[in-house]
């Protein structure tokens, strides 16, 4: 068994202001808010933090900004930025550093003001001689191409894609912090403004501000803190390409690798999972990840998400905060999915709580289906 | 067909030089296996690539029409060339949302821009 299995735990978790933040707020302000929230959540102080992990599209050296604001002199720092999955990578790296004795209390933070400053200002667009001339709107175009290919190969329908958005909205309606809480039907999604065939605007994630932070420490130390520890039972990371034309098969992601690593380490299978937080930048992405993580066979993701299976009352609660589609999507959503998994495992998700939630998966995606990282998280009883 | 241009230059410059002459070039491993996206070297081995010329015929691997509020939809596609690599491109000659996966296409080159650069795009392959 991996020596890292259940060696570390998420001890604290918090969101920053979400949605549309106050004029003048900076990404680091949101990181500060969330960081203090996560520390208060577990009862630790700034002086306890000895390692920083942070990323955002707006700050290439994010840990430096955050350390300055918080007055922390970390002895271990990681600014890994591989897109929206970065924070799952951070958890994987933090637990290894903790186990190796390089640090004891890791703070992982994210903040984005992309709605405030505009998406164009929030993200650097890489110029590429073989893609840029065709003016693909990225990342939207890449995900539309993947969705179209999935439909072609497996008969996935636009209505099945829409089921993902409808499920997310049903969850968001139970989350007071969610940005979009109006009722949403499959017909609403299908009839919404087309942005990139086959995706309508309702197949696409929100564009909001927001941030989050978590505190990771050893399982032993977490057990002495204020909140029930959420154990990192397994973690796996992988990435397969940077450009969409570098992806060997648009219907198969490196989540198959990251998920296999995480489940093998946890000693669990998808059948053991009580709820999943799967990065939903677009409706096609959770379908791909359900397949690649092994919740259903390749090509069966469309039928799998149909009939409310992932919605409240369904067999596999998915994106129970409303996800990037209806709750919050500041650009690099992954950390918010981890926060929701923590809340479900602690039983503090109020009107959207999954009964008896003991094992949760938080899966992150970055780039154009490029970077994939999977966390299998559990309650103390799953150690 | 081996490339006649053999001075050490960037992949982008080699590709663009061929495009200016109306040729679609691609890098490949010593055994002819295509490398795409282009690179100086063969992924996995680090060997220098050779540049070969494509016949410019292929099949639409995936396609989308991008819709903007103030203009007609425009196409962005991934075309799988018969030589066995997939490049991003645009398919012209039919409405952006009428391009179908599996359709046979052939390359065309746009008029030179102010720098002389010519952009390859694809059109339906007549009689396919």
pLDDT digits over B64-122, tens only?
Answer: 999 998 889 999 999 999 999 999 999 999 999 999 999 999 999 999 999 999 999 99
3-state secondary structure of A275: strand
Q: What is the pLDDT of residue A359?
A: 98
B37 lies in some domain: yes
> CA-nearest residue of chain B to A152?
B101
Inter-chain contact A136–B88, Cβ cutoff 8 Å?
yes
CA of A172, closest CA in chain B: separation in Å?
Answer: 28
Q: Which residues of chain A neighbour B61 with C-beta distances below 8 Å?
A: 149, 250
Q: Which residues of B touch A284 (CB under 8 A)?
A: none
B17 plus B72 within the same structural domain = no
Q: Which CATH number fits domain A8-120+208-230: 3.40.47.10, 3.30.360.10, 3.40.50.170, 1.10.150.130?
A: 3.40.47.10
Calpha distance A164→A157 (Å, rounded): 12
DSSP B51-113: EEE---EEEEEEEEEEEETTEEEEEEEEEEETTS-EEEE-B-SS-GGG--TT-EEEEEEPPP-
Q: From residue A328, how far is each of A17, A171, A212, A280, B96 by CA, in Å?
A: 11, 12, 11, 11, 32
Do the chains contact at A129 and B12, CB–CB below 8 Å?
yes
CATH number of the domain enclosing B94: 2.40.50
* Cis ω before B59 (30° cut-off from 0): no
Instruction: Give the pTM.
Output: 0.97
B28 domain-assigned: yes
**Chain A contact present for B24, CB below 8 A:** no
Q: Report residue A109 CA to chain centroid gap.
A: 13
pLDDT below 50 — which residues of chain A?
A: none
Residue whose C-alpha is closest to residue B100's, from B128, B46, B63, B125: B63
Domain A138-203+234-382: give its CATH code: 3.40.47.10
Interchain proximity A134–B89, CB inside 8 Å: yes
Query: B8 pLDDT exceeds 60?
Result: no
Q: Which residues, numbered 60 to 99 in chain B, qualify as contacts with chain A under a Cβ-Cβ cut-off of 8 Å? A: 61-67, 73-74, 76-78, 86-90, 97
Please tell me which residue of chain B has the smallest CA distance to A201: B67
In a domain, B4, yes or no: no
Q: How many CB pairs under 8 A join A and B?
A: 81
Residues B74 and B41 in one domain: no
Report yes or no for ipTM above 0.90: yes
A245/B64 CB distance under 8 A: no
Q: What is the pLDDT of residue B1?
A: 47
Phi/psi region, residue A214 (left: phi>0; alpha: psi -120 to 50; beta: rest), is: beta
Residue B128 has pLDDT above 90, yes or no: no
Closest-CA residue of chain B to A136:
B76
Q: Is residue B85 part of a domain?
A: yes
Residue span of the structural domain in which B109 resides: 57-124
Tell me whether residue B75 is in a domain. yes
Name the segment(s) of chain A with CATH classification 3.40.47.10: 8-120+208-230, 138-203+234-382
Residue B35 inside a domain? The answer is: yes
- What's the pLDDT score for residue A187? 98
pLDDT number for residue A224: 98
Q: What is the pLDDT of residue A124?
A: 82
Residue B114 falls inside a structural domain: yes
Could you tell me if B76 and B41 lie in one domain?
Answer: no
Give chain B's domain count.
2
Measured between beta carbons, the chain B residues lying within 8 angstroms of A146 are 62
Residue A300 structure tokens: 């069966």
CB contact under 8 A, B36 and A134: no
- Do B112 and B78 lie in a common domain? yes
Q: How many residues does chain B have?
A: 128
pLDDT band of residue B44 (cuts 50, 70, 90) is very high
Percent of chain B with pLDDT over 70: 92
Q: Closest to A245 (Cβ–Cβ): which among B37, B74, B102?
A: B37
Burial string for A55-68 (b: 16+ CB within 10 Å, else e) reads bbbbbeebbebbbe
Question: Which pLDDT score, from 0 to 100, does residue A1 have?
Answer: 78
Residues of B within 8 A of A152 (CB-CB) are 62, 101-102
B61 and B113 both lie in a single domain: yes
């Amino acid at each position: 068994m991996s020596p890292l299995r259940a060696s570390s735990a998420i001890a604290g978790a918090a969101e920053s202001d979400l949605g549309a933040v106050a004029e003048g707020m900076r990404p680091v302000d949101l990181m500060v808010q969330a960081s203090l929230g996560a520390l208060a959540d577990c009862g630790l102080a700034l002086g306890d933090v000895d390692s920083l992990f942070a990323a955002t599209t707006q700050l290439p050296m994010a840990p430096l900004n955050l350390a300055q604001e918080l007055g922390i002199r970390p002895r271990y720092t990681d600014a890994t930025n591989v897109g929206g999955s970065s924070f799952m990578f951070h958890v994987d790296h933090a637990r290894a550093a903790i186990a190796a004795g390089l640090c004891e209390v890791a703070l992982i933070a994210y903040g984005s003001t992309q709605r405030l400053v505009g998406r164009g200002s929030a993200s650097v667009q890489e110029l590429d001689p073989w893609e840029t001339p065709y003016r693909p709107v990225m990342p939207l175009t890449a995900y539309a191409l993947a969705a179209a290919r999935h439909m072609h190969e497996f008969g996935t329908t636009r209505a099945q894609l829409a089921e993902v958005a409808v499920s997310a909205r049903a969850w968001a309606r139970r989350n007071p912090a969610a940005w979009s809480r109006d009722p949403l039907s499959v017909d609403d999604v299908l009839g919404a403004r087309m942005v990139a065939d086959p995706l309508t605007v309702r197949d696409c994630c929100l564009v909001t501000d927001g941030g989050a932070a978590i505190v990771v420490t050893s399982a032993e130390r977490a057990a002495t803190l204020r909140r029930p520890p959420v154990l990192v039972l397994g973690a796996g990371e992988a990435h397969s390409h940077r450009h969409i034309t570098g992806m060997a098969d648009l219907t198969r992601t490196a989540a198959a690798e990251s998920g296999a690593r995480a489940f093998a380490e946890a000693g669990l299978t998808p059948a053991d999972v009580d709820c999943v937080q799967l990065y939903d930048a677009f409706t096609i992405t959770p379908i791909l990840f359900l397949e690649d993580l092994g919740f259903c066979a390749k090509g069966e993701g469309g039928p799998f998400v149909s009939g409310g299976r992932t919605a409240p009352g369904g067999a596999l609660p998915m994106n129970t905060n409303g996800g990037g589609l209806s709750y919050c999507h500041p650009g690099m959503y992954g950390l918010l999915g981890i926060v929701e998994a923590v809340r479900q495992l602690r039983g503090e998700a109020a009107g959207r709580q999954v009964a008896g939630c003991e094992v949760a998966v938080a899966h992150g995606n970055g780039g154009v289906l490029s970077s994939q990282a999977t966390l299998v998280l559990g309650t103390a009883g799953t150690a | 067909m081996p490339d006649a241009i053999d001075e050490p230059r960037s992949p982008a410059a080699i590709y663009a030089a061929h495009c200016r002459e109306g040729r679609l070039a691609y890098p490949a491993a010593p055994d002819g296996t295509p490398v795409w996206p282009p690179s100086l070297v063969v992924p996995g081995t680090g060997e220098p690539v050779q540049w070969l010329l494509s016949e410019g015929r292929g099949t639409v691997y995936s396609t989308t029409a991008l819709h903007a509020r103030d203009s007609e939809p425009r196409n962005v596609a991934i075309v799988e060339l018969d030589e066995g690599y997939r490049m991003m491109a645009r398919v012209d000659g039919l409405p952006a949302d009428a391009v179908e996966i599996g359709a046979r296409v052939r390359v065309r080159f746009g008029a030179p821009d102010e720098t002389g650069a010519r952009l390859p795009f694809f059109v339906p392959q007549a009689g396919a």
